[in-house]
Amino acid sequence: MFISDMYLPLSVINKILQSSGYDESDKVFLSSAIGKTKFTGDIYSYVVEQLGCNPEDILHIGDNYHSDVLNAKAKGLLSYFY
């Protein structure tokens, strides 16, 4: 599963992921495609709802302390700053 605040279209991101060895079974949650962002944190609740799981079942790894760590934790996800 991938969660990204990205301006590129989903089709471009999917091609990049496929060329890197990931297939279409990997879920991609792209802010430009769904209108929700990591920056505001609203994408995390959306992902939990779409996956039908508990927030604490997701470990989100990212390099932006605010968007990837603080906002993910605020929505109940586990997070790791990388």
- Segment 39-67 mean pLDDT: 97
Q: Is the pLDDT reported for residue 62 higher than 90? A: yes
Instruction: Give the residue from 27, 46, 36, 26 showing the smallest Cα distance to 6.
Output: 36
20, 2 in Cβ contact below 8 A?
Answer: no
Among 13-22, 37-46, 72-81, the range scoring the smallest mean pLDDT is: 13-22
Q: Is the pLDDT reported for residue 24 higher than 90? A: no
58: tokens are 């997701």
Q: Where are the domains of the chain?
A: 2-81
- The tens digit of pLDDT for each residue in 47-58 reads 999 999 999 999
Predicted TM-score of the model (pTM) = 0.89
Q: Is the pLDDT reported for residue 25 higher than 80? A: no
- The yes or no reply on domain 2-81 and CATH 3.20.20.70 is no
* pLDDT confidence bin for 20, thresholds 50/70/90: very high
